[in-house]
Amino acid sequence: MNSTLIVLTQNFPYLPGEQFFETELQYLQKDFNKIIIAPVAYKPENEQREVPENVLVKPLRRNVTSVKALTYLRRITVLSDPQAMKWFNEEFVSARRHGLKGVLKLVNWLSLAVNIRKQLERHYVKNNTNLSECVFYSYWLSPTAIALGMLKEKSGETIKGVSRAHGGDLYAYRHKPPYLPLQGKTITNLYKLYTISSDGKNYLQNQYPHLIPTKLSISKLGTVGGEQTNPRNKDEQLHIVTCSYMVDVKRLDLLIEALNRTKLKLKWTHIGNGPLWDQINELAAEKLPSNVEWEFLGFMNNAQIRAYYQQTPVDLFMNVSASEGVPVSIMEAFSCGIPVVATDVGGTSELVNDQNGKLLKKDASPEQIAEAIEAFTAMSDLEYDSVSKYAYEMWDENYNAERNYAEFSKQLSLLGGNHQHEG
């Protein structure tokens, strides 16, 4: 059996982003004879991460020019493609509800999708005698998934295209305008779509009640567990950690306002970088009182984060985002027995509860966040140990990479004709 998996990513294995796929790939490479990773939005000058021996990296050509206006002009010509014109006409009314921006977004996404579809046809479909043993996998429900939907419609039943759906690629309300082109039609033309949460699956079922139920499955993400849990903090200083890209949706400014309202002696550590690095640094320096020590560690990869949690006492992990899919950062904290305080957005409620932390309302005020932090300092050692134990159990039972990614890889390999997992 010569099964091949063709994975469409944004950047991976090029930095930045998609670090969670790095863990998943370790399981996929065991079940497929060959894996081809085709990033579609990468920058060739960026650092490239290492991949297993049976994984080839073959980036797709980007349909861009050095002149932005020329790039958009080139993308409008996509409507000369008969299939693209057909999909555009079917979607136009939905796009027009969001004004000119909606229509332009539809044209832009179709252009990207057709560019990807044409390259997939040329490299992997035309003259491929082993097409039945190929699985096409889009890591995002984005133009790459649209391309697979178009490829399936055009090429017939032999194309096996699947996609994941996370957060920003799933929930239209996270965007301005709140519109993600061709979502329902794309899912209809995929073999299967895997959401990473029950919330995501329910959202799609409500948005598109006509979808065949078997089109949608839940395949949770996961993290690698630590060899040891987080060490006990023997200091009086409460240690809080956050881990995220520094962008508006993560609301680190809200957390700073909350920390400004507590009289506790505490330390705040943030892991991650991003476009708001300077702004958040300045805000912390301006707003945080003398009882709050803070440090920003910048980018750390998954292994470094895991090592940090195993070696550095952390009392509490926090996530006050305005929107999420299912935060992998919370899974990482749970895997080391660290309790979590988080806002109830996206699929976060599928992880965080009163047994393993505290789930706050999406619009929690700085005062309410501060109260949740202070509640942890009032816990006895017995109470805290119980919360820590439930945090670890939530990870082990639901977000253990060994279990989740092995099962997902098994499902994809069966699509590719690998029958070793049957029975």
Per-residue pLDDT of the chain (423 residues; tens, 9 = 90+): 579 999 999 999 998 888 889 999 999 999 999 999 999 998 889 989 999 999 999 999 876 555 455 556 666 777 789 999 999 999 999 999 999 999 999 999 999 999 999 999 999 998 877 888 899 999 999 999 999 999 999 987 789 999 999 989 999 998 999 999 999 999 999 999 999 999 999 999 999 999 988 999 999 999 988 666 787 877 789 999 999 999 999 999 999 999 999 989 999 999 999 999 999 999 999 999 999 999 999 999 888 998 999 999 999 999 999 988 888 999 999 999 999 999 999 889 999 999 999 999 999 999 999 999 999 889 999 999 999 999 999 999 999 999 999 999 999 999 877 655 544
In angstroms, the first-to-last Cα distance of the chain is 18
Q: Is 98 within 8 Å of 177 (Cβ atoms)?
A: yes
What are the boundaries of each domain within the chain? 4-222+402-415, 238-399
Q: Please choose, from the candidates 72, 149, 55, 141, the residue with its C-alpha nearest in 3D space to the C-alpha of residue 111.
A: 72
Q: How many CB atoms lie within 10 A of CB 366?
A: 18
CB-count burial class (<10 Å; 0-12, 13-18, 19+) for 286 = exposed
CB-count burial class (<10 Å; 0-12, 13-18, 19+) for 363 = exposed
In whole angstroms, what is the distance from residue 335 CA to residue 237 CA? Answer: 23
Give me the residue label for tokens 């992997």. Answer: 124
3-class SS of residue 123: helix
pLDDT at site 423 = 45
Q: Please choose, from the candidates 218, 403, 244, the residue with its C-alpha nearest in 3D space to the C-alpha of residue 332.
A: 244
How does DSSP classify residue 48?
B
pLDDT at site 352 = 96
How much helix, strand and coil, in percent to the nearest 5, is found in the chain?
A: 45, 15, 40
Q: Does domain 238-399 have CATH number 3.40.50.2000?
A: yes
**Distance from CA of residue 73 to its chain's centroid?**
31
Q: Is 149 within 8 Å of 185 (Cβ atoms)?
A: yes
Tell me the H-state helices in 240-362.
252-259, 277-287, 302-311, 328-334
In whole angstroms, what is the distance from residue 188 CA to residue 165 CA? Answer: 14
Phi, psi of 110 (to 5 degrees): -65, -40
pLDDT at site 354 = 95
The answer to whether domain 4-222+402-415 and domain 238-399 are alike in fold is: yes
Q: Does domain 4-222+402-415 have CATH number 3.40.50.2000?
A: yes
Global pTM exceeds 0.75: yes
HSE on the CB side for 1, CA within 13 Å?
Answer: 17
CA 148-152-158 angle, 5° bins? 120
CB-count burial class (<10 Å; 0-12, 13-18, 19+) for 418 = buried
Q: Which residues contact 106 (CB under 8 A, 6 or more apart)?
A: 88, 91, 92, 95, 181, 182
